[in-house]
Chain A
Amino acid sequence: MHVEQSRDIPPSGITPESVWLGRRRWLRQMAAGSLALGMGGLARASAGDGPTGPVLPAPPNARWSTTEKPNSWHDITTYNNFYEFGTGKGDPAEYAGRMRLRPWAVKIDGAVGKPMTLDLDDLRKLAPLEERVYRLRCVEAWSLVVPWIGYSLSHLLQRVEPTADARYVVFTSAVQPDVMPGVRQRILDWPYVEGLRMDEAMHPLTLLTFGLYGHDLPPQDGAPLRIIVPWKYGFKSAKSLVHIRLQAEQPVSSWMRAAPDEYGFYANVNPSVPHPRWSQATERRIGTGFFASRIPTLPFNGYAESVAGLYQGMDLRRNF
């Protein structure tokens, strides 16, 4: 209760935020004369782009939340990388709605004492849901601030009783070829596979995520459940999970397989290790308008205090 009161605006009440943000942006652009360039956001102020879908309430967790202003629902749900649905940023919003979300089951097996298959309702009830406002940094050098809803993955992992062999966790995303145009294009080896080291997966920041802005995760953001690892580049946070496997060997992720020189296993946000395609020193915060300058990228996406210890003694240039 105290936590709730300490926040001026509960994130679930930010529905009109996109509206006033848009209005502010419009005013700023007017002032800067950008409408002469034809790049004003006239329609933004009127677009009804607040959260939609079934409500999923959860109290905010201030301990693990940033106080930065979350992006609008519109930004978070129209600008996505979800290659199963195509490589365009707008493709997921256009096509992901066709994904079959019910029934949904997740198999958890491998180096565990109690392998199990849980449906979505079981998974949601496994631990109390909470809202966490995380920064999300994409490897393409843009970022968002997102109010996710979920619980620490460690709750689920403890439930299946990992054995001594459980050193890595492998996440596998759903494949529904008939509704996923990107899967038919063979951009990657499907299904999408990602992985974490066990200590990374057990870290309280690693969030098993079911919702966004007080609602169910929209399909384009990885419905019905995904992983969120806020100190790593976005591609590490696999969407629409169907299988979680614990094992002794380090897995080869989809992106490592596709371009081993460009995508490593760790993919920790690191401004001093440039990607062959993007400098990682700065990032563009989505939704800050035409004239906002790029902001410096922080080591571990600003979560160094909590997670840098996991990598003590490791050469992060080699283990990129």
Chain B
Amino acid sequence: MRSGVWLRVGVHAVGLFPLARWVVLGATQGLSANPQEFLTRSSGVWALALLWAVLCVTPARRLTGWTRLVRYRRALGLYAFFYTVLHVIAWAIWDRGGAPAAMWTDLWQRDFIGVGAIAVLLLVPLALTSTNGWIRRLGRWWRRLHWLIHPAAVLSVLHFEWMRAGKNDFLEPRIYAVILAVLLGVRLWWWWENRAKQRFDQHRLG
């Protein structure tokens, strides 16, 4: 019970930290001479980091046996989506001047904007179906739908990588890519192991 309270506090502390950080930086001249660019990039990076945190939940649960962790996955996911939405709004208003035509051109002219947009579109249904009602209504389809987080994560890191390609500066996106590879790798490994075990069991039964 006690550890549950701390976990909950911890998750919200992590989720609200970027927002609190911006407030402090804003009050102390820390948002750089180009605060719009700073906030656009910062919201993107935090959306990515929180998405990665969501993907850590399942492996962490399997490794620690701490099943309670799953209860906080939704909060983490919604925080990730919250920063994703801020990132998109920042781009739309500050980068494209709120002009739909300029946004549309950007989507088609720039690959990194295009893949970013697809990633956002994949995340929208996940956020919308995060309520208890939708989880019940969708039943086993809920899990299948939420599998979309995987392609969304891959496209997000591609978005980051291609954005940085213009400046030949790949260190950060590659760190995210390596962590994602590990997170997806362990899933693949467990899935393969599981399948092998099932086959073995079937063989023995047969």
A residues at B contact (CB < 8 Å): 37-44, 47, 71, 74-75, 78-79, 87, 89-90, 142, 185, 187-188, 258-259, 262, 274-279, 281-282, 284, 286-287, 290, 293-294
With the chains together, A79 CA to B31 CA distance in Å? Answer: 11
The answer to whether A279 and B106 touch across the interface, beta carbons within 8 angstroms, is yes
With the chains together, A180 CA to B62 CA distance in Å? Answer: 44
The answer to whether A79 and B97 touch across the interface, beta carbons within 8 angstroms, is no
Q: Which residues of B contact A286 (CB under 8 A)?
A: 33-34
Q: Which residues of A contact B39 (CB under 8 A)?
A: 39
The answer to whether A74 and B33 touch across the interface, beta carbons within 8 angstroms, is yes
The answer to whether B33 and A38 touch across the interface, beta carbons within 8 angstroms, is no
The answer to whether B33 and A277 touch across the interface, beta carbons within 8 angstroms, is no
Majority-rule SS of B interface residues: helix
With the chains together, A42 CA to B27 CA distance in Å? Answer: 5
B residues at A contact (CB < 8 Å): 19, 22-23, 26-29, 31-37, 39, 94, 97, 102, 105-106, 109-112, 163, 165-169, 171
The answer to whether B32 and A89 touch across the interface, beta carbons within 8 angstroms, is yes
With the chains together, A296 CA to B112 CA distance in Å? Answer: 23
The answer to whether A78 and B33 touch across the interface, beta carbons within 8 angstroms, is yes
The answer to whether A39 and B28 touch across the interface, beta carbons within 8 angstroms, is no
* Closest Cβ neighbor of B94 among chain A residues: A284
Q: Which residues of B contact A44 (CB under 8 A)?
A: 29
The answer to whether B167 and A87 touch across the interface, beta carbons within 8 angstroms, is yes
The answer to whether A284 and B34 touch across the interface, beta carbons within 8 angstroms, is yes
With the chains together, A23 CA to B169 CA distance in Å? Answer: 36
* Closest Cβ neighbor of A77 among chain B residues: B33
The answer to whether B168 and A188 touch across the interface, beta carbons within 8 angstroms, is yes
21 contacts between A and B (CB under 8 A): A39-B23, A39-B31, A40-B26, A40-B27, A42-B27, A43-B27, A43-B28, A43-B29, A74-B33, A78-B32, A78-B33, A89-B34, A142-B34, A187-B168, A188-B168, A262-B166, A275-B166, A277-B112, A277-B163, A284-B37, A290-B36
Closest Cβ of chain B to A9, distance in Å, is 21
* Closest Cβ neighbor of B171 among chain A residues: A185
With the chains together, A282 CA to B102 CA distance in Å? Answer: 10
Q: Which of B31, B167, B171 has the most CB of A within 10 A?
A: B167
Q: Which residues of A contact B169 (CB under 8 A)?
A: 87, 187
* Closest Cβ neighbor of B20 among chain A residues: A38
**Contact (A277, B27) CB under 8 Å given A78-B32, A79-B33, A90-B32:** no
With the chains together, A71 CA to B32 CA distance in Å? Answer: 14
With the chains together, A281 CA to B97 CA distance in Å? Answer: 11
